[in-house]
Amino acid sequence: MNFQINSFEEYQEAYKKSVENPEQFWGEVGDHFFWKRKWNNVLNWNFTEPDINWYEGGKLNITENCLDRHIYQNGDTPAIIWEPNDPTEAHRILTYKQLLQKVEQFANVLKNNNVRKGDRVCIYLPMVPELVISLLACARIGAIHSVVFGGFSAQSIADRINDAACKLVITSDGGFRGSKVLELKTVVDDALMQCESVEKVIVLTRTRTPVSMIKGRDVWWEDEIKKVETQGNPSCPAEEMDAEDKLFVLYTSGSTGKPKGVVHTTAGYMVFTGYTFANTFQYKPGEVYFCTADIGWITGHSYIVYGPLSQGATSLMFEGIPTYPDAGRYWDIVDKYKVNIIYTAPTAIRSLMAFGDEFIENKDLSSLRVLGSVGEPINEEAWHWYHEKVGKKKCPIVDTWWQTENGGHLITPIAGITPEIPSYAMLPLPGIQPALMDEHGNEIEGNDVSGNLCIKFPWPGMLRTTWGDHERCRQTYFATYKNMYFTGDGCYRNPDGYYRITGRVDDVLNVSGHRIGTAEVENAINMHSDVVESAIVGYPHPVKGQGIYAYVIANHHIDEESTKKDILQTVSRLIGPIAKPDVIQFVSDLPKTRSGKIMRRILRKIAEGEFSAVGDITTLQDPTVVQRIIEDAQKMRK
């Protein structure tokens, strides 16, 4: 880990070098990894198609970097510490040696079930060590994983499986989440009614929830492991992968249409997650690092699995939720394992804040050294609570700004080394060249300015394409501004040159740190038989960051209360409970321009309760709708 930056001067030097000579810079970072064959060329790119190649000609396997290379000296170091949902159940520790053995074993299970290099594998599992084993086993043999978060519905799983034509699904009978049991296999069964590409389903036992096992299709994880054991040779050589071979696809929402499959490739993603993990958190050997995200999201991929493991770190994963059995659970975990670094989301901080300080005050948090935040802007109140109550004013907070498409941190403080200001993501990491753009496509230079945030130059962890639709990738990220990657975020650069992310500038919501497309929720609501049309906007929510406000035009004869419930059920079924609107307001009409475009700006103001701030409505087809919507909104608030 000698690519760690140790001082502000070193940061400045590294940054300068990364801009003046990016190939040399990333070549040197790449030298800290294990290659079966070294690359010929560090970078070959254009943003017009886009066509981005890092470490061209390099051959490697990411699991050799995450596992094998640590065995010799650190084989007995814990790779994964697993804390179960129920604190009275035994925890599990997998050392690097043990994790490698399990990954090889399960990689052989995948092979036995006809999975080959390049095949897609859908993973729908709770937060158990077998989830990590599944990802790495896919990577071991060159299969491309597509993890679907356990909160998504059968329909969402089916859409994702079909889009990538997955051949195999890995799931479990169920999952524990707080006091609930989620019936994961049943959800997969419902999904598979629509999926022809799936040949096999591997089912892990976790909850002993009754499941239907279909002959010829469904097999038990445990039985398959036994078969491998009786076959004799437990090892599984790491497939030689090209630097640009696909590692995984992960679906994320945008402002239009269905979620897109963000594609990350092998070498660049490995280098970038490893480099950013080691630097942002300043991880030191022997430390216990706890990321509270779910592996169903990019944060879990990059900062529970690949980043920490490639650096030989000890990564703690937690199966449960922050409020079970009570709102002190995170702090119990910190105390129990003497956690040094915790990486969580503002929404979790706000929700725990709301439960009151008695859940944190009597806990021993003295092991903590660094605090991380991710997923959405952290408001100052939450920042200060995190700083004072969790970090006892002695831990740096890294507010890490990045996106699924980015693979890893782009703009963030480096813990204890670069400055921090509450609610600011601060400075770009080496290799990252931000630009603020105006509406005419010009870069806004200088400080104390705001604009749309773009990145001018490639970095190794960036997405390469969107699955099955390269044109959509180009359109979404590379067409708005010439020769730039467009993030979809607005941003302010203060007089000192520090960056503050101000939120999305497109029709994408951030609800509890999860990205939700307004169009997707609208489409789901519109599926309800009594709905004529709908419009979704976000509004400030004290815990979730943004809440979902739905304006719905329904048929006249409906019973509003029961239709509301039906709409919630429809959204749950089509997307998942995470996309359920917090507020549903029935309206007779929506504010539209003469060309028929919904004026969301007005709807946003009404959702925020800023009734006098709706602004200019003279360009509307029918300006009187605004007053009617406001009156109803006022009634609802009473």
Which spans of this chain sit near ligand WT7 (rule: CB under 6 A)?
252, 298-299, 374-377, 399-404, 425, 487-489, 501, 504, 510, 513, 515
Return d(Cα 460, Cα 244) in angstroms, integer.
Answer: 10
Cross-sheet strand order for the sheet of 260-265: 218-220, 200-204, 168-172, 120-124, 144-147, 246-252, 260-265, 465-466
Question: Is the Cβ of residue 476 or residue 487 nearer to ligand WT7 in the bound state?
Answer: 487
Q: What's the closest the beta carbon of residue 215 comes to ligand WT7, in angstroms?
A: 39
- Give buried/exposed letters for 52-61 (b at 16+ CB in 10 A, else e): bbbbeebbbb
In the bound state with ligand WT7, the residue whose beta carbon lies nearer, of 25 and 401, is 401
- In whole angstroms, the minimum distance from the beta carbon of 537 to ligand WT7 comes to 16
**The pair of three-digit structure tokens given for residue 539, joined into one six-digit string:** 């509004």
Minimum CB distance to ligand WT7 smaller for 104 or for 159: 159
Compare residues 377 and 581 and give the one whose CB is closer to ligand WT7. 377
User: Using an 8 Å Cβ cutoff, are 120 and 87 in contact?
Assistant: no
How near is the Cβ of 265 to ligand WT7 at its closest, in Å?
18
Q: Say how far apart CA 357 and CA 304 lie, in whole Å.
A: 28
- Least separation, in Å, of the C-beta of 468 and ligand WT7? 19
Question: Which residue's CB is nearer to ligand WT7, number 58 or number 488?
Answer: 488
Least distance in angstroms from the C-beta of 616 to ligand WT7 = 27
Contact of 99 with 119, CB cutoff 8 Å: no
Task: For residue 514, list its beta bridge partners.
Answer: 511
- Cβ nearer to ligand WT7, comparing 371 with 626: 371
Contacts of 590 (CB under 8 A, 6+ apart): 533, 535, 551, 553, 598, 603, 625
- What's the token pair of residue 586? 């029935």
Q: Least distance (Å) from ligand WT7 to the CB of residue 502?
A: 8
Dihedral pair phi/psi, residue 122, rounded to 5°: -90, 135
Q: Which of 30/396 has CB closer to ligand WT7?
A: 396
Minimum CB distance to ligand WT7 smaller for 266 or for 487? 487
Q: Which is nearer to ligand WT7, 64 or 489 (CB)?
A: 489
Is the peptide bond prior to 434 cis by the omega test (within 30 degrees of 0)?
Answer: no
Collect all residues with Cβ–Cβ distance below 8 Å to 132 and sequence separation of at least 6.
80, 99, 295, 304, 305, 317
As measured in angstroms, the least distance from the Cβ of 254 to ligand WT7 is 10
Local structure of residue 251 (DSSP, 8 states): E
φ, ψ of residue 453 in degrees (nearest 5): -85, 125
Give min distance, CB of 500 to ligand WT7, in A: 8
Sign of CA dihedral 597, 601, 606, 611: negative
